[in-house]
Amino acid sequence: MSSQDTLESALGDLERLESEGLAALGAADSPEAVEAARIEYLGQKSGRLKAAQERLRTLEPSGKRAYGQRFNGVKQALEAALEEARTRLERRAVAADALDVTLPGSRPRLGHRHPLTQTADELIDLFGRFGFSVARGPEVEDTRHNFDALNIPPVHPARDPLDNFYLSESTMLRSQTSTVQIRVMEAQPPPVRVIAIGRVYRPDTVDATHSFMFHQVEGLMVDRGVTMADLKTVLRLFARSYLGQDVKIRFRPSFFPFTEPSVEVDMLWHGGDRWVEMGGAGMVDPNVLRAVGYDPEEVTGFAFGLGIERLCMRRHGIDDIRLLYQGDVRFLEQF
Protein backbone atom coordinates (compact mmCIF):
# COMPACT_ATOMS: atom_id res chain seq x y z
CA MET A 1 0.00 0.00 0.00
CA SER A 2 1.43 3.39 -0.98
CA SER A 3 1.91 6.25 1.48
CA GLN A 4 -0.75 8.26 -0.39
CA ASP A 5 -3.27 5.46 -0.04
CA THR A 6 -2.45 5.14 3.67
CA LEU A 7 -3.06 8.89 4.25
CA GLU A 8 -6.35 8.78 2.39
CA SER A 9 -7.44 5.76 4.40
CA ALA A 10 -6.46 7.42 7.67
CA LEU A 11 -8.35 10.63 6.79
CA GLY A 12 -11.39 8.57 5.81
CA ASP A 13 -11.31 6.83 9.20
CA LEU A 14 -11.22 10.28 10.90
CA GLU A 15 -14.30 11.35 8.94
CA ARG A 16 -16.19 8.23 10.07
CA LEU A 17 -14.98 8.73 13.63
CA GLU A 18 -16.29 12.30 13.70
CA SER A 19 -19.61 11.42 12.09
CA GLU A 20 -20.29 8.45 14.37
CA GLY A 21 -19.13 10.29 17.49
CA LEU A 22 -21.32 13.33 16.83
CA ALA A 23 -24.31 11.08 16.17
CA ALA A 24 -23.75 9.10 19.39
CA LEU A 25 -23.40 12.20 21.55
CA GLY A 26 -26.36 13.90 19.89
CA ALA A 27 -28.59 10.88 20.52
CA ALA A 28 -27.54 10.38 24.15
CA ASP A 29 -30.64 11.09 26.27
CA SER A 30 -29.36 10.21 29.73
CA PRO A 31 -26.26 10.87 31.82
CA GLU A 32 -25.34 7.19 31.44
CA ALA A 33 -25.58 7.35 27.65
CA VAL A 34 -23.46 10.51 27.52
CA GLU A 35 -20.79 8.91 29.72
CA ALA A 36 -20.75 5.76 27.59
CA ALA A 37 -20.26 7.83 24.41
CA ARG A 38 -17.50 9.83 26.09
CA ILE A 39 -15.59 6.68 27.05
CA GLU A 40 -16.00 5.17 23.59
CA TYR A 41 -14.87 8.21 21.64
CA LEU A 42 -12.90 10.41 24.05
CA GLY A 43 -11.61 7.93 26.62
CA GLN A 44 -7.99 8.58 27.65
CA LYS A 45 -6.98 4.89 27.62
CA SER A 46 -9.07 3.05 25.07
CA GLY A 47 -11.14 5.68 23.29
CA ARG A 48 -11.36 5.71 19.51
CA LEU A 49 -9.92 9.22 19.39
CA LYS A 50 -6.89 7.96 21.35
CA ALA A 51 -6.41 5.16 18.81
CA ALA A 52 -6.62 7.66 15.96
CA GLN A 53 -3.92 9.72 17.62
CA GLU A 54 -1.66 6.65 17.85
CA ARG A 55 -2.13 6.08 14.11
CA LEU A 56 -0.19 9.27 13.45
CA ARG A 57 3.03 7.32 14.12
CA THR A 58 2.38 4.93 11.24
CA LEU A 59 2.10 7.61 8.57
CA GLU A 60 4.85 8.82 6.29
CA PRO A 61 6.36 12.18 7.39
CA SER A 62 4.83 13.90 4.37
CA GLY A 63 1.30 13.02 5.50
CA LYS A 64 1.58 13.69 9.22
CA ARG A 65 0.89 17.44 8.94
CA ALA A 66 -2.39 17.01 7.05
CA TYR A 67 -3.52 14.16 9.32
CA GLY A 68 -2.59 16.08 12.47
CA GLN A 69 -4.61 19.14 11.39
CA ARG A 70 -7.67 17.01 10.62
CA PHE A 71 -7.28 15.08 13.88
CA ASN A 72 -7.34 18.33 15.91
CA GLY A 73 -10.53 19.40 14.13
CA VAL A 74 -12.23 16.07 14.92
CA LYS A 75 -11.13 16.24 18.56
CA GLN A 76 -12.50 19.77 18.99
CA ALA A 77 -15.80 18.81 17.36
CA LEU A 78 -16.27 15.78 19.63
CA GLU A 79 -15.36 17.72 22.77
CA ALA A 80 -17.85 20.46 21.84
CA ALA A 81 -20.55 17.83 21.22
CA LEU A 82 -19.83 16.28 24.63
CA GLU A 83 -20.22 19.64 26.37
CA GLU A 84 -23.44 20.36 24.48
CA ALA A 85 -24.87 16.97 25.48
CA ARG A 86 -24.07 17.59 29.14
CA THR A 87 -25.62 21.09 29.02
CA ARG A 88 -28.75 19.73 27.34
CA LEU A 89 -29.27 17.16 30.09
CA GLU A 90 -28.63 19.72 32.85
CA ARG A 91 -31.28 22.05 31.41
CA ARG A 92 -33.71 19.18 31.19
CA ALA A 93 -33.04 18.29 34.83
CA VAL A 94 -33.58 21.88 35.95
CA ALA A 95 -36.85 22.07 34.02
CA ALA A 96 -37.99 18.79 35.56
CA ASP A 97 -37.22 20.07 39.06
CA ALA A 98 -39.00 23.37 38.39
CA LEU A 99 -42.23 21.70 37.27
CA ASP A 100 -43.18 18.41 38.83
CA VAL A 101 -46.66 17.64 37.55
CA THR A 102 -47.13 15.02 40.26
CA LEU A 103 -46.95 17.62 43.04
CA PRO A 104 -49.93 19.72 44.22
CA GLY A 105 -50.13 23.16 42.63
CA SER A 106 -48.66 26.19 44.38
CA ARG A 107 -51.30 28.69 45.41
CA PRO A 108 -50.41 32.13 43.98
CA ARG A 109 -49.95 35.03 46.37
CA LEU A 110 -53.08 37.16 46.15
CA GLY A 111 -53.40 40.84 46.87
CA HIS A 112 -56.45 42.55 48.28
CA ARG A 113 -58.89 45.26 47.35
CA HIS A 114 -57.76 48.88 47.35
CA PRO A 115 -58.93 50.86 50.43
CA LEU A 116 -61.16 53.01 48.21
CA THR A 117 -62.76 49.89 46.75
CA GLN A 118 -63.23 48.52 50.26
CA THR A 119 -64.89 51.78 51.30
CA ALA A 120 -67.19 51.80 48.26
CA ASP A 121 -68.23 48.20 48.89
CA GLU A 122 -68.96 48.97 52.53
CA LEU A 123 -71.11 51.95 51.53
CA ILE A 124 -73.04 49.85 49.02
CA ASP A 125 -73.68 47.21 51.68
CA LEU A 126 -74.63 49.76 54.33
CA PHE A 127 -77.06 51.74 52.19
CA GLY A 128 -78.41 48.48 50.83
CA ARG A 129 -79.57 47.69 54.36
CA PHE A 130 -81.36 51.05 54.32
CA GLY A 131 -83.23 49.97 51.19
CA PHE A 132 -81.10 51.82 48.57
CA SER A 133 -80.17 50.07 45.34
CA VAL A 134 -77.05 50.93 43.31
CA ALA A 135 -77.09 52.89 40.04
CA ARG A 136 -74.16 53.75 37.79
CA GLY A 137 -73.78 56.03 34.80
CA PRO A 138 -71.29 57.22 32.19
CA GLU A 139 -68.24 59.23 33.17
CA VAL A 140 -68.32 61.10 29.85
CA GLU A 141 -71.52 63.07 30.23
CA ASP A 142 -73.54 65.67 28.35
CA THR A 143 -74.14 69.13 29.76
CA ARG A 144 -77.88 68.53 30.04
CA HIS A 145 -77.45 65.79 32.64
CA ASN A 146 -74.48 67.47 34.33
CA PHE A 147 -76.02 70.96 34.52
CA ASP A 148 -79.34 71.77 32.82
CA ALA A 149 -81.51 69.06 34.38
CA LEU A 150 -79.93 69.83 37.76
CA ASN A 151 -81.19 73.41 37.66
CA ILE A 152 -77.73 74.86 37.00
CA PRO A 153 -78.25 77.72 34.49
CA PRO A 154 -75.72 78.61 31.73
CA VAL A 155 -74.49 81.66 33.68
CA HIS A 156 -73.75 79.69 36.85
CA PRO A 157 -70.03 79.76 37.84
CA ALA A 158 -70.09 75.96 38.28
CA ARG A 159 -70.13 75.70 34.47
CA ASP A 160 -66.94 77.73 34.03
CA PRO A 161 -64.50 76.01 31.62
CA LEU A 162 -61.74 76.52 34.20
CA ASP A 163 -63.68 74.38 36.68
CA ASN A 164 -64.55 71.48 34.37
CA PHE A 165 -63.05 69.09 31.83
CA TYR A 166 -64.99 69.88 28.66
CA LEU A 167 -64.54 67.57 25.68
CA SER A 168 -66.75 69.70 23.45
CA GLU A 169 -69.39 72.38 23.91
CA SER A 170 -71.94 69.76 24.95
CA THR A 171 -69.86 66.90 26.45
CA MET A 172 -67.54 66.71 29.42
CA LEU A 173 -66.09 64.47 32.10
CA ARG A 174 -68.81 64.52 34.74
CA SER A 175 -68.12 66.78 37.69
CA GLN A 176 -70.63 65.06 39.99
CA THR A 177 -72.51 61.79 40.30
CA SER A 178 -75.80 63.69 40.48
CA THR A 179 -75.96 63.04 36.74
CA VAL A 180 -76.86 59.44 37.51
CA GLN A 181 -79.84 60.56 39.60
CA ILE A 182 -81.24 62.39 36.59
CA ARG A 183 -80.81 59.31 34.40
CA VAL A 184 -82.52 57.10 36.99
CA MET A 185 -85.52 59.41 37.34
CA GLU A 186 -85.80 59.71 33.56
CA ALA A 187 -85.95 55.94 33.28
CA GLN A 188 -88.45 55.11 36.04
CA PRO A 189 -91.41 56.65 37.84
CA PRO A 190 -91.38 57.22 41.61
CA PRO A 191 -90.78 55.83 44.15
CA VAL A 192 -86.99 55.99 43.77
CA ARG A 193 -84.38 55.02 46.35
CA VAL A 194 -80.87 54.70 44.90
CA ILE A 195 -77.25 55.55 45.50
CA ALA A 196 -74.99 56.53 42.60
CA ILE A 197 -71.33 55.75 43.08
CA GLY A 198 -68.28 56.41 40.91
CA ARG A 199 -65.48 58.70 39.73
CA VAL A 200 -65.89 62.42 39.05
CA TYR A 201 -63.46 64.94 37.59
CA ARG A 202 -62.60 68.55 38.41
CA PRO A 203 -59.40 70.44 37.49
CA ASP A 204 -58.29 71.02 41.07
CA THR A 205 -54.64 71.45 41.98
CA VAL A 206 -53.42 68.23 43.58
CA ASP A 207 -52.47 68.58 47.24
CA ALA A 208 -53.04 66.72 50.50
CA THR A 209 -56.83 67.18 50.33
CA HIS A 210 -57.59 67.71 46.62
CA SER A 211 -57.32 65.70 43.42
CA PHE A 212 -58.42 66.22 39.81
CA MET A 213 -60.20 62.84 40.03
CA PHE A 214 -62.03 61.49 43.07
CA HIS A 215 -65.03 59.35 44.02
CA GLN A 216 -68.50 60.28 45.18
CA VAL A 217 -71.52 58.45 46.50
CA GLU A 218 -74.84 60.22 45.92
CA GLY A 219 -78.12 59.25 47.53
CA LEU A 220 -81.59 59.95 46.16
CA MET A 221 -85.01 59.18 47.60
CA VAL A 222 -88.21 60.36 45.91
CA ASP A 223 -91.71 59.38 47.02
CA ARG A 224 -94.85 60.83 48.47
CA GLY A 225 -94.33 62.66 51.76
CA VAL A 226 -90.50 62.58 51.91
CA THR A 227 -89.25 65.31 54.26
CA MET A 228 -86.05 66.82 55.63
CA ALA A 229 -86.56 64.67 58.73
CA ASP A 230 -86.10 61.56 56.56
CA LEU A 231 -82.87 62.98 55.14
CA LYS A 232 -81.43 63.78 58.57
CA THR A 233 -82.42 60.35 59.88
CA VAL A 234 -80.72 58.50 57.00
CA LEU A 235 -77.51 60.53 57.33
CA ARG A 236 -77.35 60.12 61.11
CA LEU A 237 -77.88 56.36 60.81
CA PHE A 238 -75.22 56.17 58.11
CA ALA A 239 -72.67 58.16 60.12
CA ARG A 240 -73.15 56.06 63.25
CA SER A 241 -73.06 52.79 61.30
CA TYR A 242 -69.93 53.66 59.32
CA LEU A 243 -67.93 55.92 61.64
CA GLY A 244 -69.08 54.73 65.07
CA GLN A 245 -71.70 55.54 67.65
CA ASP A 246 -69.60 58.39 69.08
CA VAL A 247 -69.71 60.47 65.89
CA LYS A 248 -71.72 63.70 66.02
CA ILE A 249 -73.45 65.23 63.01
CA ARG A 250 -74.57 68.78 62.40
CA PHE A 251 -76.41 70.41 59.52
CA ARG A 252 -75.61 73.94 58.34
CA PRO A 253 -77.77 75.96 55.92
CA SER A 254 -76.22 76.19 52.47
CA PHE A 255 -77.13 76.58 48.80
CA PHE A 256 -77.07 74.14 45.89
CA PRO A 257 -78.98 74.78 42.64
CA PHE A 258 -80.48 71.29 42.65
CA THR A 259 -81.77 71.20 46.25
CA GLU A 260 -84.02 73.55 48.23
CA PRO A 261 -83.54 73.86 51.15
CA SER A 262 -79.87 72.83 51.15
CA VAL A 263 -77.51 71.91 53.98
CA GLU A 264 -73.85 71.13 54.55
CA VAL A 265 -73.29 68.04 56.69
CA ASP A 266 -70.38 68.16 59.16
CA MET A 267 -69.04 65.46 61.45
CA LEU A 268 -67.27 65.60 64.82
CA TRP A 269 -65.50 62.32 65.33
CA HIS A 270 -63.95 60.49 68.29
CA GLY A 271 -64.45 63.35 70.70
CA GLY A 272 -62.54 65.84 68.56
CA ASP A 273 -62.93 69.59 68.71
CA ARG A 274 -63.00 70.36 64.96
CA TRP A 275 -65.95 69.92 62.63
CA VAL A 276 -65.12 68.38 59.23
CA GLU A 277 -67.40 68.68 56.22
CA MET A 278 -68.79 65.30 55.16
CA GLY A 279 -70.87 66.38 52.17
CA GLY A 280 -73.82 68.35 50.91
CA ALA A 281 -77.52 67.48 50.99
CA GLY A 282 -81.03 68.90 50.74
CA MET A 283 -84.54 68.45 49.41
CA VAL A 284 -84.69 67.94 45.64
CA ASP A 285 -85.54 71.25 43.95
CA PRO A 286 -88.98 71.23 42.23
CA ASN A 287 -87.31 72.33 38.98
CA VAL A 288 -85.23 69.14 38.99
CA LEU A 289 -88.36 67.05 39.46
CA ARG A 290 -90.06 68.83 36.58
CA ALA A 291 -86.98 68.33 34.35
CA VAL A 292 -87.41 64.55 34.58
CA GLY A 293 -91.21 64.56 34.23
CA TYR A 294 -92.13 64.24 37.92
CA ASP A 295 -94.89 66.32 39.48
CA PRO A 296 -93.50 68.24 42.51
CA GLU A 297 -97.09 68.60 43.76
CA GLU A 298 -97.33 64.82 44.05
CA VAL A 299 -93.85 63.73 45.19
CA THR A 300 -90.91 65.13 47.11
CA GLY A 301 -87.41 63.84 47.64
CA PHE A 302 -84.02 64.35 49.20
CA ALA A 303 -80.50 63.99 47.82
CA PHE A 304 -77.05 63.92 49.38
CA GLY A 305 -73.49 63.64 48.13
CA LEU A 306 -70.50 62.33 50.09
CA GLY A 307 -66.81 62.08 49.17
CA ILE A 308 -65.57 58.49 49.35
CA GLU A 309 -61.93 59.53 49.74
CA ARG A 310 -62.80 61.75 52.69
CA LEU A 311 -64.74 58.96 54.38
CA CYS A 312 -61.93 56.49 53.78
CA MET A 313 -59.34 58.93 55.12
CA ARG A 314 -61.40 59.65 58.24
CA ARG A 315 -61.99 55.93 58.86
CA HIS A 316 -58.30 54.96 58.56
CA GLY A 317 -56.56 58.14 59.78
CA ILE A 318 -55.01 58.96 56.38
CA ASP A 319 -53.80 62.56 56.18
CA ASP A 320 -52.89 62.85 52.48
CA ILE A 321 -55.20 61.90 49.60
CA ARG A 322 -52.21 61.35 47.31
CA LEU A 323 -51.28 58.23 49.25
CA LEU A 324 -54.40 56.55 47.86
CA TYR A 325 -53.21 56.94 44.27
CA GLN A 326 -49.44 56.39 44.39
CA GLY A 327 -49.63 52.60 44.35
CA ASP A 328 -47.07 52.22 47.14
CA VAL A 329 -47.42 48.60 48.29
CA ARG A 330 -45.98 49.46 51.71
CA PHE A 331 -48.94 51.78 52.26
CA LEU A 332 -51.62 49.61 50.66
CA GLU A 333 -50.62 46.46 52.59
CA GLN A 334 -51.91 48.11 55.77
CA PHE A 335 -55.48 47.72 54.52
Cis upstream peptide for 261 (omega within 30°) = yes
Asked if residues 178 and 291 have their Cβ atoms less than 8 Å apart, the reply is: no
User: Counting Cβ atoms within 10 Å, is residue 165 exposed (0-12), middle (13-18) or buried (19+)?
Assistant: middle
Asked if residues 47 and 40 have their Cβ atoms less than 8 Å apart, the reply is: yes
Asked if residues 151 and 288 have their Cβ atoms less than 8 Å apart, the reply is: yes
CA 12 to CA 4: how far, in whole Å?
12
Which DSSP symbol is given to 161? Answer: G
The reply, when asked if residue 298 is annotated as ligand binding, is no
| DSSP secondary structure of 310-331 | HHHHHHHT---GGGGTS--HHH
Pick out the residues of the known binding site for Mg(2+).
Answer: 260
Indicate the annotated binding residues: 260
